[in-house]
């Protein structure tokens, strides 16, 4: 089993939150500058936000569910079976 240094998770989590926030802010600004109507812009923004945040939460929860297998000289694999 590979152990993770205690200082690493806060950096990874804060970086992940910053990237997701930057993508969402950039999307909102781009749609506004493109002249999309408010209703369409809100729908597109919320759709992307749900996908990004939901996917990020799912990936952050996978290690806690023991769904990764790491072997020497192999790439980590994710098993989606509960």
* Residue 27 included in any domain: no
Residue 12's pLDDT is 85
Q: Tell me if 30 is assigned to some domain.
A: no
The answer to whether residue 8 sits within a structural domain is: no
What's the average pLDDT block by block, 10 residues per block, for the chain (82 residues)?
Answer: 79 90 95 94 95 84 61 59 54
Any domain includes 76: no
Structural domain contains residue 80: no
> Is 17 a domain residue?
no
Domain tally for the chain? Answer: 1
pTM for the model stands at 0.68
Helix/strand/coil (H/E/C) assignment for every residue in 29-53: HHHHHCCCCHHHHHHHHHHHHHHHH
Is residue 62 in a domain?
A: yes
Give domain status of residue 6, yes or no. no
Domain membership of residue 54 as a residue range: 37-70
Collect contacts of 67-75 with beta carbons under 8 A, ≥24 apart. Answer: 70/1, 70/2
């Amino acid at each position: 089993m590979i152990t993770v240094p205690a200082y690493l998770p806060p950096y990874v989590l804060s970086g992940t939150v910053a990237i997701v926030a930057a993508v969402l802010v950039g999307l909102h600004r781009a749609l506004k500058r493109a002249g999309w109507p408010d209703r369409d812009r809100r729908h597109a923004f919320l759709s992307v936000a749900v996908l990004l945040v939901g996917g990020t939460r799912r990936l952050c929860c996978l290690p806690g569910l023991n769904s990764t297998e790491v072997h020497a000289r192999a790439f980590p694999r994710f098993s989606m079976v509960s």
